[in-house]
Amino acid sequence: MANVDVYNLQKEKVAETEIADSVFNAEIKEHLVRDVVVWQLAKRRQGSAAVKNRAKVKGGGAKPWKQKGTGRARAGTSRSPIWRGGGAIFGPQPRDYGYRLPKQVRRQALISVLSQKFQEGKVFVLQDLALDSVKTQKVAELFTTFGVKSAILVAEDNRELTLSARNLNGALAVNQNGVNVYDLLKYDYLILSDESLKKIEGALQK
| Per-residue pLDDT tens digits for 11-68 | 999 999 999 999 999 999 999 999 999 999 999 999 999 999 999 999 999 999 999 9
The neighbouring-strand residues paired with 197 are none
Same-domain status, 38 and 59 = no
| pLDDT for the residue numbered 132 | 86
Same-domain status, 199 and 126 = yes
Give residue 158's pLDDT band: very low, low, confident or very high (50, 70, 90).
confident
Same-domain status, 177 and 136 = yes
Same-domain status, 85 and 109 = no
What average pLDDT does range 167-173 have in this prediction?
Answer: 94
For the chain, how many structural domains are there in total?
Answer: 2
Same-domain status, 185 and 133 = yes
Same-domain status, 111 and 173 = yes
| pLDDT for the residue numbered 7 | 94
| Angle subtended by helix axes 136-146 and 159-166, to nearest 10 | 80
Q: Which of 30, 63, 91 is the last residue of a domain?
A: 91
Q: Supply the CATH number for residue 7's domain.
A: 3.40.1370.10
Same-domain status, 60 and 157 = no
State yes or no: pLDDT of 174 exceeds 90. yes
The neighbouring-strand residues paired with 13 are 7
Same-domain status, 41 and 134 = yes
Q: What is the DSSP letter of 76?
A: S
Asked whether the beta carbons of 153 and 192 are under 8 A apart, the reply is yes
Give CA 47 to chain center in angstroms. Answer: 16
Same-domain status, 34 and 134 = yes
Give residue 1's pLDDT band: very low, low, confident or very high (50, 70, 90).
confident
pTM of the predicted structure, to 2 decimals: 0.86
113-145: pLDDT as tens digits = 999 999 999 999 999 988 888 999 999 999 999
Same-domain status, 145 and 58 = no
- pLDDT > 90 fraction of the chain, expressed in percent and rounded: 92
| pLDDT for the residue numbered 105 | 97
SS3 call for 98 = coil
Q: Which of 62, 91, 120 is the last residue of a domain?
A: 91
Q: Which of 31, 64, 91 is the last residue of a domain?
A: 91
Same-domain status, 110 and 32 = yes
| Angle subtended by helix axes 30-44 and 103-119, to nearest 10 | 120
Asked whether the beta carbons of 140 and 149 are under 8 A apart, the reply is no
Structural domain that includes position 71:
51-91
Same-domain status, 26 and 74 = no
Q: How far apart are the first and last CA of the chain?
A: 17
61-110: pLDDT as tens digits = 999 999 999 999 999 999 999 999 999 999 999 999 999 999 999 999 99
CA distances from 170 to 55, 70, 119, 124, 184 (A): 48, 68, 21, 16, 12
